[in-house]
């Protein structure tokens, strides 16, 4: 295989940069990123200082001008990656979605693909894409990529299989040019983890969830594995902007997250209300709203079945996986109470559970930071995909980019 220094890519619908961060670990360098939300793009810029950041509406960006700015010939770019909204896209779009703006946004992604003619294409989306319009949307995407010169395939990846300590699923589409099969571009699971599939996992007559092929794989990274070295905080405590670590790193995961970091940023405890503090006092690690006395429950949950909403008002099991990190760590929507501290997860803890390195700093208000973290692709998942993609493109993986 051929060696490489840095593979060239661009990132569209880039968010705060989770996808680019992981792909960077695999050896890709993002030359250009487009993200319309100002705070997201500011975070991206702060953490990818050698990338040109474009905050313009992608519908108004001339792809040819971008290519010339980057001094890239057609066919020279290694990868176009991104998370374009896909749910409105269909070759035979029904009337209800013909004018859907999301439809046009995916077409903007294709417009850049046509202009750059990259060696590979990577698209990430939610698992629900598989069942949307009975699979017609996903089929349209794959068919369209084929018409644009790419052999493509799709898989649903489970984040804990790749070292991410939370229950998160992503649909990944990969396309390769020049008749290359995309099958080898999808990473094999490297860890075991309990799974519960609550979405459509079959497409085109086959199961597209990537499952471990070996039984002797190491177990998943737990919440405690991920967080136990971070500073202790009380409810509502902010403290210094830069905080010292609680302990020396206790495992390989913590060592990897702390690489290049001089301390802990974005680690401030939001102040929970008095009623939520009362509720939390009754919840053991691994428990949830069913441990709360009825008189303390929110009015709408007093009549709920005890088998429903099992993550709400949850205190995470330190030896288990975290709930999917959403755009806010609101205990009403998930298990976001810390396992042995009486408070909710901080932005840094949410970022750790998403596998952002501690050297990655988030800008904006605390609310904006939570949103950026929750909407991101976990960097370790992106890195796993990136390493497989590097091999599929015929390059050797640099030693420094190998998995934990």
pLDDT for 304 = 82
Q: What is the pLDDT averaged over residues 312-340?
A: 94
pLDDT for 301 = 85
pTM for this model (two decimals): 0.93
Contact 92, 136 (CB under 8 A): yes
pLDDT for 317 = 97
C-alpha 176/C-alpha 169 separation (Å) is: 23
C-alpha 253/C-alpha 358 separation (Å) is: 12
Q: Which two structure tokens, joined as six digits, stand for 319?
A: 């030896």
Helix (H) or strand (E) run with residue 290 in it: none
Separation in Å, CA 248 to CA 56, 110, 192, 227, 239: 43, 47, 27, 12, 20
Q: Which domains does the chain have, with CATH numbers?
A: 7-215+378-401 (3.40.50.150)
Kindly tell me if the per-residue pLDDT of 93 is higher than 50: no
pLDDT for 7 = 96
Average pLDDT, the chain: 91
**CA 382 from centroid of its chain's CA atoms:** 8
Residue 49: CB partners within 8 Å, gap ≥ 6?
none
Task: Scan for tokens 């950026």, then name that residue.
Answer: 372
Cα–Cα–Cα angle for 123, 124, 126, rounded to 5 degrees: 140
Nearest to 154 by CA among 135, 168, 134: 135
Per the residue annotation, which of 56, 64, 86, 117 is the catalytic one?
86
Kindly tell me if the per-residue pLDDT of 156 is higher than 50: yes
Name the DSSP class of 160.
G
**Using 50, 70 and 90 to split pLDDT, how confident is the model at 92?**
very low
Nearest to 375 by CA among 350, 346, 400: 350
pLDDT for 198 = 86
**Percent of the chain beyond pLDDT 70?**
93
Kindly tell me if the per-residue pLDDT of 311 is higher than 90: no
How would you classify the pairing of strands 7-12 and 79-82? parallel
pLDDT for 401 = 44
Name the DSSP class of 284.
P
Q: How far is the first Cα of the chain from the last one, in angstroms, to the nearest whole number?
A: 22
pLDDT for 4 = 56
**CA 173 from centroid of its chain's CA atoms:** 14
Q: Is 391 a catalytic residue?
A: no
């Amino acid at each position: 295989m051929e060696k490489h220094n840095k593979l060239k890519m661009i990132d569209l619908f880039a968010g705060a940069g989770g996808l680019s961060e992981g792909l960077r670990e695999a050896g890709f360098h993002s030359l250009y990123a487009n993200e319309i939300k100002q705070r997201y793009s500011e975070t991206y810029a702060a953490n990818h200082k050698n990338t040109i950041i474009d905050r313009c509406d992608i519908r108004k960006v001339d792809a040819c001008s971008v290519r010339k700015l980057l001094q890239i010939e057609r066919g020279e770019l290694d990868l176009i990656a991104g998370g374009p909204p896909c749910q409105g896209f269909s070759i035979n779009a029904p009337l209800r979605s013909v004018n859907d703006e999301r439809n046009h946004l995916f077409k903007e992604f294709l417009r850049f693909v046509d202009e750059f003619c990259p060696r590979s294409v990577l698209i990430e989306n939610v698992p629900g894409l598989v069942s949307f319009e009975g699979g017609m949307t996903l089929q349209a995407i794959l068919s369209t990529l084929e018409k644009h010169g790419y052999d493509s395939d799709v898989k649903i990846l489970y984040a804990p299989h790749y070292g991410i300590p939370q229950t998160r699923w992503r649909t990944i589409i990969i396309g390769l040019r020049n008749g290359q099969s995309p099958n080898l571009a999808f990473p094999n699971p490297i860890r075991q983890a309990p799974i519960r599939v609550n979405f459509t996992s079959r497409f085109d007559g086959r199961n597209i969830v990537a499952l471990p092929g070996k039984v002797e794989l190491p177990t998943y990274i737990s919440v405690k594995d991920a967080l136990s070295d971070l500073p202790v905080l009380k409810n509502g405590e902010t403290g210094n902007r830069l905080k010292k670590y609680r302990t020396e790193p206790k495992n390989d995961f913590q060592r990897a997250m702390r690489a290049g970091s001089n301390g802990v940023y974005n680690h401030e405890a939001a102040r929970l209300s008095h009623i939520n503090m009362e509720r939390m006092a009754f919840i053991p690690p691994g428990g949830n709203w069913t441990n709360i006395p009825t008189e303390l429950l929110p009015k709408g949950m007093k009549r709920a079945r005890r088998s429903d909403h099992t993550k709400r008002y949850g205190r995470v099991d330190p030896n288990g996986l975290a709930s999917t990190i959403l755009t806010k760590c609101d205990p009403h929507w998930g298990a976001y109470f810390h396992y042995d501290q009486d408070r909710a997860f901080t932005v840094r803890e949410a970022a750790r559970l998403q596998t952002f390195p501690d050297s990655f700093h988030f800008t904006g208000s605390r609310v904006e930071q939570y949103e950026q973290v929750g909407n991101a692709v976990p960097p370790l998942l992106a890195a796993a995909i990136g390493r497989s993609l590097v091999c599929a493109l015929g390059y050797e993986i640099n030693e420094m980019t190998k998995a934990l």
